[in-house]
Structure 1
Amino acid sequence: MRPTSTSPEPPASVIAVVGATASGKSDLGLELAQRLGGEVVNADAMQLYRGMDIGTAKLPVGERHGIPHHELDVLEVTEEASVARYQVAARADVAAIRARGRAPILVGGSGLYLRAALDRLDIPPTDPALRSRLEEEALEQGASVMHARLARLDPAAAAGILPANVRRVVRALEVVTLTGRPFSATMPTRRFLCPTTMLGLRVSREVLDERIDRRVERMWRDGLLEEVRGLLPLGLREGFTASRAIGYRQAVEVLDGVSTAEAAIAETARATRRYARRQESWFRADPRIVWLDAQAPDLVERALDVVCARALRHDPSTGDPPPPPGGAGAMPDNG
């Protein structure tokens, strides 16, 4: 029998709701938490930041229906988001939620953060001085030169990182320099720490783009510019991670007088669509995800069916669920 709000026994140790931005993850995660007696653990890197609410589509406190939400508002905008820090904190949250007899429900679209929390992954060391030096070299020499250096040292890692993604290139070079091992060797294996059900929300390209456009316009109507204006005295410009957040960077340009609101809205929508494509590519590669139609009128019921069925079929020795029969639930290639 399917658990309900009157039968809060969690059907699986951990549930994750993943997918592209604007696919409806927050709403589904909240519904599952209500139905299963669960608590939500945020897995969106930008929602870690205190005060970055409108531009990250953070679910307002008044709309959480009393469901505890963890890993929200835990960083100042001047702090750098760290996968290693998040891994420790999110795993502690999951353990505490399970100890309370409740269901941990991770919700978000930051792929590496999700895998750091759920998979068997050792975070490689970091050296701030080395990182700073590599970042300076990237500014002086350019992204393509740094990527070419990585290609010589670790071809596998370079093949998986876009040359324009300077931050990832620098991180890979940092790990190779510190450990003498390929950065690619530190990537997580697809092995869960404990029994986990991953639900992915799929949306057609046309519908997702429309949702993104509407969301961006709504953010600006709801006061994104004023939110950013209030964050500038708190150090938003100096924040290595926060200052690069989509929407916030464009809003700063408007406040600086180098862009118009119309141009900023259009660029925010374009950047968000590009980000959504990268999210789709990341999650599409994970065969453990059971994909659900985000527009299905009975989405919550379908999700509960998957969660309950998987709970009976998890391999307790590995934490890994079997693949869906016949490849059911595979995510379509939207191009």
Structure 2
Amino acid sequence: MITGLRVGALRLSCLSLPYTAEAPLLRPSLQPSLLRRRRHTIRLFATSCSAPPPRNRGERQKVVVISGPTGAGKSRLSLELAKRLNGEIISADSVQVYKGLDIGSAKPSLSERQVVPHHLLDILHPSEEYSVGQFYEDGRKITEEVLSRGRVPIVTGGTGLYLRWFIYGKPDVPKASPEITFEVNSELADLQRDGDWDAAVELVIKAGDPDVKSLAANDWYRLRRRLEILKLSGAPPSAFQVPYNSFKETFESSETDASDINSSSAEVQESKSKDLDYEFLCFFLSTQRLDLYRSIDFRCEDMLLDDGILSEAKWLLDLGLLPNSNSATRAIGYRQAMDFLLLSREQGGWSSSKDFYRFLSEFQKASRNFAKRQLTWFRNEPMYHWIDASKPLENVLSFICDAYHDQTGELKLPRSLSMEKDISSPKDVRLLKAYRTKNRHFISREDCGDILEWVRRTQGEATVTVC
């Protein structure tokens, strides 16, 4: 059974792991031996740290935001940046909040958490729900605590809605009273017990929220929340003003007006961003799509070594959870792994190489599609500077550190580090359409023999573990 360990915010001297100055942010993948050792080895080396620059009274404090698609190297960059800026990392990842979901969420290792304090990791049991509203409250509270200690908040993750609310603010949607919550739970209880998702959606549509059709299937938590809002206000969530939408509309309007007075897009953005609670320095890491997809495919393979994500998926099933039944079990990797293990349980613990490779292919495809959705999401975010993750780590670190300490308010990303938001080359478009996965570890039938043996050994007589 996998258990989650929580490491509190440790106030340590600023320490550094060695790295090669010319190493790119995006690494192809972890070697198997490194994957096995990374959670148990800690090598600490002293280095110097920069304190945050002095702040004038009334001046907004700076918060660094690092995002990017899955597998782009944002965790590595954030760790090294925190060492240089005397920072603490606040996770903006909707899966890393759960105990025991370590490998599939690429959670920072315990040794990394000893070097730099991390927050919002391992705070919930996988059976619990965590909302974007709760992240907003937790993230803002921790940000204030980090700033009060004279340290730099570095918010890191790829959950776009978490970061959007964190930066721009949350909609002024009413909180449900205990009476409303009880009423909603009573109305949906039988439908949820019977698994009748379509009937539940229809119920909420008739109550006045047609947009509920866009929810992911079996997302009962958000379905209940939408019905609560309807009962509380008589209006659907879409009726409430979203701070991001207001910011973007004003920004785009100002950008259009600026074309008549020779103002740059950066100047318009800087002017509008002064309305926000903090001075946000936002960076989005990415790389050429083909390189990113290849890295993601290798990463999925690595997560299967030494049982890996399969053992965590087994734990979820043993707790009595089913795939796609709540936030934790909807997570990419866990959902596919749980389906694969359930199939083997139905077959008395037996599984074939065909079943395994189908699971691996679905895992890789879902991960690539998620990265594609992340890229699309952040293209619409005006605050982010897109950085090429294939560039040397030292160059990226130096730029972000300089940007943090800059007092002029003019942040200009050098062309040498810049990443294009769209695929413009016809050749790249053709190559992307022709992309096919080429595995590194799992190629032939024999390569998955150890995993199939583990499945037969552990799934033949599956038992449920008491939470």
Shorter-chain TM range is 0.7 to 0.9
Structure 2, unpaired ranges of 5+: 1-15, 17-46, 54-60, 248-274, 345-350, 424-428, 430-467
Deviations 1:230-289 (A, max 9, x none): 333334438621111111112112222257322211111111111112211221111111
C-alpha displacement at 1:162, in angstroms? 4.3
Distance across 1 between alignment mates of 2:376 and 2:203: 21
Instruction: Measure, in 2, the Cα distance between the counterparts of 1:198 and 1:32.
Output: 13
Please give the TM-score of this superposition, normalised by the length of structure 2: 0.60
Question: Aligned partners of 1:283 and 1:312: how far apart in 2?
Answer: 26
Aligned equivalents of 1:305, 1:98: Cα separation in 2: 19
Identify which of 234, 240, 262 aligns with 1:180: 234
Q: 1:109/1:146 Cα in 2 relative to 1: closer, same or farther (>3 Å)? A: farther
- Partner residue, 2:301: 217
1:87-236 → structure 2 map (5 Å cutoff)? 87-122=136-171, 124=173, 125-126=175-176, 128-129=181-182, 130=184, 133=187, 136=191, 140=196, 142=198, 146=202, 149=205, 162=214, 167=219, 170=223, 171-172=225-226, 174-184=228-238, 185-189=240-244, 190=247, 192-222=276-306, 223-236=308-321
Tell me which amino acid in the other structure corresponds to 2:127. T
SS, match of residue 307 in structure 1: helix
Q: Deviations over 1:152-176 (max 9, x none)?
A: 9568x67xx8465664973555534
- Listed one character per residue, the Cα deviations across residues 49-70 of structure 1 (whole Å, up to 9, x for unaligned) are 0000011111111234610000
Matches within 5 A, 1:61-80: 61-64=110-113, 66-80=115-129
Gaps of 5+ in 1: 315-321
Which structure has the larger Rg? Answer: 2
Q: TM-score, normalised by structure 1?
A: 0.81
Distance 1:209 1:219 in 2: 15
Deviations, residues 285-315 of structure 1 (Å, cap 9, x unaligned):
1111111111111222233233334x5418x
8 Å CA contact 1:8, 1:102 repeated in 2: no
Amino acid at match of 1:213: D
The one of 354, 370, 376 aligned to 1:281 = 376
Of 95, 100, 109, 1:46 maps to 95
Once residues 143 and 295 of structure 1 are traced to their aligned partners in structure 2, the CA distance between those partners, rounded to angstroms, is 48
SS in 2 for 1:237: coil
Whether the aligned pair in 1 keeps the contact of 2:197 and 2:217 (CA below 8 Å) is: no
Provide the C-alpha distance between the structure 2 equivalents of 1:227 and 1:144, rounded to a whole number of angstroms: 31
1:297-334 CA-to-partner distances (Å, cap 9, x unmatched) read 1222233233334x5418xxxxxxx89799x9575124
Question: Structure 1 segments of 4 or more deviating over 4 A?
Answer: 126-129, 131-135, 143-148, 152-155, 161-166, 171-174, 322-326, 328-331
Q: Deviations over 1:81-106 (max 9, x none)?
A: 12222222221111111000000000
Question: Which residue identity does 2:141 align to in structure 1?
Answer: A
Task: Give the partner amino acid of 1:204.
Answer: Q
Identify which of 409, 415, 421 aligns with 1:332.
421
Aligned-partner Cα distance in 1 for 2:373–2:185? 25
User: Do the aligned partners of 2:286 and 2:419 also contact (CA within 8 Å) in 1?
Assistant: no
- Spell out, residue by residue over 1:196-224, the C-alpha distance to the aligned partner (whole angstroms, 9 max, x if none): 11111122211111111011000011421
SS in 2 for 1:48: coil
Q: CA RMSD in A?
A: 3.5
1:18, distance to aligned residue in structure 2 (A): 0.8
State whether structure 2 residue 332 is matched by structure 1 residue 246.
yes
Give, in whole Å, the separation in 1 of the partners of 2:420 and 2:227.
33
Hey, what does 1:296 align to over in structure 2? Answer: 391
> Number of residues paired by the alignment?
319
Given candidates 363, 366, 369, the residue that maps to 1:268 is 363
Q: How many percent identity over aligned positions?
A: 35
